[in-house]
Amino acid sequence: MTTASIRPPLARPRRAVLGGVAAGLAIHLRVPVTGVRVVLVCLTVAGGAGALFYIWLWALVPLEPQAASTVAPVWRRAPVAIVLVALASASVITELAGLTGNSDPVVGPILVFTILAAGGAVAWSLTMDVADPHRSQASATAVRSAATFLLLLGGIAALLSHAQGFDAVLGLLAIVVAVAVLVAPRVVALWSNLMSERAARVRQEQRAEIAAHLHDSVLQTLALIQTRAGASTEVARIARAQERELRDWLFAEDQPARSDLPTELREIAAAIELDFAVRIEVVTVGETTQLATTAVVGAAREAMLNAARHAGGDVAVYVETTASSIDVFVRDRGVGVDMASLPDDRLGIRESIVGRMSRAGGAATVTAGAGVRGTEVHLHLARDHD
Amino acid sequence: MTSLVIVDDHSIFRSGLRAELDPELTVLGEAGTVDEAIALIAAELPEVVLLDVHLPGAAGGGGAEVIRGSAGLLGTVRFLALSVSDSAEDVVGVIRAGARGYITKGSSGAEVSAAVAAVAAGDAVFSPRLAGFVLDAFGAVTGERADQPDELDRLSAREQEVMRLIARGFAYKEVASELFISVKTVETHVSAVLRKLQLSSRHELTAWAQQRKLL
């Protein structure tokens, strides 16, 4: 009696012949699975209790829990759909034999059986076999076309034999079911498409609503903070960074970030703004289809860093991409630099900007700004036409 | 003394901006919706209207609708668009409706005051970003150039140079000394570009405006 307490729980295994009921029962009761099957079949033949018991257990006994790391789909070894198709074809053959024979044919019950078997085959293959990796797409298609063909054959034969009353109705029904079987997968696909589209639209609308609200409230407040705090104060910089982040989130249209030159320079500018008391305005003109050029990005980054470090305040970055060349201007409002008087150990401009650009086949010029003060770095690179 | 009306739907922003403005400017009133703004402008006749691009009320046309509603006053009242968004697409509709320039709401009180003074003096106010947008929209990068000075759909060589320098962050005075011309001439070029921006039927401009239902 102690064994009863450690009896394995009643559960249906995932690798089953049909529903896993017999195997589950056998494990639970610790008897050979063949014995369980024999009892079930005997009970089914003697009055149908076995089948009812089987269906009852199938519905109520849970599936074996799956291991945490693996996703184990249910694998049914019995080719139920194919067996049902075979039954349907047998019944259609019986019907045709009866119709061509001389004796009074029995059409009604045979047609009902055909409709149930063929419809059941399609239903099984659409619901149970879809999740099963051991059943291919091709076999589902084969089951469906076979079912359609059998239903049409049975229905048309019944109608052509001048069936009367109920038989004629059944014949028509067979044809209707055949058509339904044919279009069922498309209808199912259409329906699930419609559902997911609706869900996506609802999400989109919600997002737009949130965006509108945030635009009207938070962005305005952030702008006001920047106005009140003065452009290059700590508070204004934080507000500006926050505003940029929020704006990116609000107006990014789910597109993957492209790593072209303007995008990269904007990202660099955003990063520098966080570290220095500086406001960098990046203006880009022209279409860029090519990826960012490492030398230009590196040199521009160095120029922006120099401007942020030595000048601060407002820095203007202008990027112009034409069919033949890329030009980047970085302009600050600092006291300016004199290239000739720079000590040799100041590698920033000489090496990281001028040297880098000339190695890449471009040019960099550093000029004192047009006014009394300020420095402008100009990077120029001809574009390859390959 | 320049008289001014502030139109923005956020009272906090209005009062914040008002406190930051140059004391030389006289604020005649504030409005929060399209209808209020049109009525206030007609009653007060300010020299300059600081106009938010996104504004509730009336037909939903925002700032552009205010300008159209005050169309009869465009000779005496000048509009300066103010936007929380710094994308020039947002602003092109207001400019085309008749605004004389645009600045972002993140600008400091001093910057806003300077822009108001410039607009009051009859100049156009172009931020670097708007200049960049103009260069793009008029195809300056792809080499399009007006042969006749009165051609509306393209910029002349000089106008392109001026726009490029403004996009690079040059002030009008710096543009003038860079190109060896007078500040007055720079202002003339900028006004000419503004006029083209307002009157041109270039596809890029009309497409943006139509998208935002501003035409």
* Residues A30 and A7: beta-carbon distance below 8 Å: yes
Taking 70 as the threshold, does the pLDDT of residue B186 lie above it?
yes
| Chain B residues inside the 8 Å CB shell of A371 | 171, 173-174, 177
pLDDT in tens, B45-96: 888 998 888 877 767 667 778 888 887 777 788 899 888 766 666 677 788 8
CB-based contact A329 B109, cutoff 8 Å: no
Give the structural domain span for A172: 79-213
- Per the DSSP assignment, residues forming a β-bridge with A285 are A320
Contact assignment for B141 to A320 by CB distance below 8 Å: yes
Query: Following DSSP, what letter does each residue of B85-129 receive, concatenated?
Result: ---HHHHHHHHHHT--BEEETTS-HHHHHHHHHHHHTT--B--HH
- Among the listed residues B124, B86, B123, B118, the one whose alpha carbon sits nearest the alpha carbon of residue B103: B86
Angle (CA) B208-B212-B214 rounded to 5° is 95
- Cα–Cα dist A282/A304, whole Å: 11
**Cβ–Cβ below 8 Å for A284 and B132:** yes
User: By C-alpha distance, which of B54, B89, B80, B98 is closest to B210?
Assistant: B89
Q: Which residues of chain A have pLDDT under 50?
A: 1-2, 370-371, 386
- Sequence-ordered strand ranges (E) for chain A: 15-16, 75-76, 278-285, 313-321, 325-331, 363-368, 375-382
On whether both A101 and A50 belong to a single domain, the answer is no
The minimum CA-CA distance between B95 and chain A, rounded to whole Å, is: 19
Where a domain ends, among B88, B105, B123?
B123
Given CB atoms, is B170 within the 8 Å cutoff of chain A?
A: yes
Residue B139 neighbours by CB distance under 10 Å: 15
Mean pLDDT across B171-186 = 87
Residue B37 confidence (pLDDT) above 70? yes
B178 touches chain A (CB under 8 A): yes
Contact (CB, 8 A) for A308 and A280: yes
CA dihedral B43, B49, B55, B60 (to 10 degrees): 60
Q: Measuring CA to CA, which residue among A217, A224, A220 is closest to residue B16?
A: A224
Report the C-alpha gap between B55 and B214 in whole angstroms.
Answer: 13
Tokens matching residue A280: 């960098």
> For B207, how many CA atoms within 13 A lie in the half-sphere containing its CB?
5
Residues of B with Cβ-Cβ distance to A224 under 8 angstroms:
12-13, 16-17, 105
Same structural domain, B17 and B81: yes
Tokens of A143: 């089951």
Which tokens in the block code for residue B22?
Answer: 């140059």
Q: Is there a single domain that holds both residue A209 and residue A113? A: yes
Q: Are residues B103 and B207 in the same domain?
A: no
A284/B135 Cβ within 8 A: no
Q: Which amino acid makes up residue B113?
A: S
- Last-in-domain residue among A25, A44, A77: A77
Question: Same structural domain for residues A88 and A73?
Answer: no
Predicted confidence at residue A194, as pLDDT, reads: 92
What pLDDT does A46 receive?
81
Q: Which residues on A lie below 8 Å from B129 (Cβ)?
A: 281, 283
Direct distance between the N- and C-terminal alpha carbons of chain B, in angstroms, rounded to an integer: 34
Minimal CA separation from B13 to chain A, in Å: 6
Taking Cα atoms as reference points, which of A378, A379, A376 lies closest to residue A294?
A: A379
| B158 plus B119 within the same structural domain | no
The letter for the amino acid at B73 is L
Q: Which of B116, B126, B168, B179 to mutate to test the interface with A (most CBs of A within 10 A)?
A: B168
Q: Which residues of A97-132 are buried (b: 16+ CB within 10 A; e: fewer)?
A: ebeeeeeebebbebbebbbebbbbbbebbbebbeee
Q: According to the model, what pLDDT value does residue A302 have?
A: 86
d(CA B128, CA A216): 25
Do A4 and A105 lie in a common domain? no
CA distances from A199 to A193, A202, A203 (A): 10, 5, 6
Question: Do B109 and B136 fall into the same domain?
Answer: no
Q: Characterize the bridge pairing of strands B2-7 and B25-31.
A: parallel
Residue B213: what are its φ and ψ, rounded to 5°?
55, 45
Quick check: B7 and B81 in contact, CB under 8 A? no
Residues A307, A272 contacting (CB under 8 angstroms): no
In what helix (H) or strand (E) does residue A138 lie, and over which residues does it extend?
helix A137-160
CA distance A85 to chain B (A): 58
The reply to whether B175 and B161 lie within a common domain is yes
Measured CA to CA, the distance from residue A370 to residue A99 in angstroms comes to 103
**A286 and A249: one domain?**
no
In whole angstroms, give the CA distance from residue A92 to residue A117: 11
Q: In whole angstroms, how far apart are CA A27 and each of A53, A60, B118?
A: 17, 17, 90
A326 and A291 in one domain?
yes
Residue A361, CA distances (Å) to A200, A304, A345, A357, B66 in order:
49, 21, 24, 6, 52
Residue A268 and residue A250 share a domain:
no
What is the amino acid identity at position B188?
Answer: T
- Please check whether residue A314 touches B, CB under 8 A: yes
**In terms of DSSP H, where are the helices of A276-348?**
294-306, 347
Q: What phi and psi, each to the nearest 5 degrees, are found at residue A312?
A: 70, -165
* Token output for A227: 């106005």
Which domain CATH number covers B190? 1.10.10.10
Whether B74 and B105 share a structural domain: yes
**Regarding predicted confidence, which is higher, A10 or B205?**
A10
- Closest residue of chain B to A239, computed from CA coordinates: B106
State which amino acid sits at residue A276.
F
A293, A307: one domain: yes
Q: B106 vs A240: CB contact, 8 Å cut-off? A: yes
Contact status of B175 with chain A (Cβ, < 8 Å)? yes
Q: Are B105 and B135 contained in the same domain?
A: no
Do B113 and B143 lie in one domain? The reply is no
**Nearest CA-CA partner of A282 in A272, A291, A293:** A272
Count of structural domains within chain B: 2
Average pLDDT over residues B152-164: 84
Q: Do B105 and A224 touch (CB under 8 A)?
A: yes
- What ipTM, to 2 d.p.? 0.79
> To probe the interface with B, which of A217, A287, A318 has the most B CB atoms within 10 Å?
A318
Q: Which of A326-340, B181-195, B199-213 has the lowest mean pLDDT?
A: B199-213
- How far is B36 from B7, CA to CA, in rounded Å? 9
Measured CA to CA, the distance from residue A209 to residue A176 in angstroms comes to 47
Domain C-terminal end among B73, B91, B123: B123
- Domain boundaries, position B86: 2-123
The tokens 């004199």 sit on which residue?
Answer: A338
Provide the number of structural domains found in chain A. Answer: 4
- Confirm or reject contact between A372 and chain B (CB < 8 A): no
| CB spacing of B142 vs A323 below 8 angstroms | yes
Q: Are A282 and A317 in contact (CB under 8 A)?
A: yes
Using the 3D structure, point to which of A213, A242, A268 is the last residue of a domain.
Answer: A213
Which of B23, B69, B30 is CA-nearest to residue B52? B30
- Residues A373 and A272 occupy one common structural domain: yes
CB A147 within 8 A of CB A119: yes
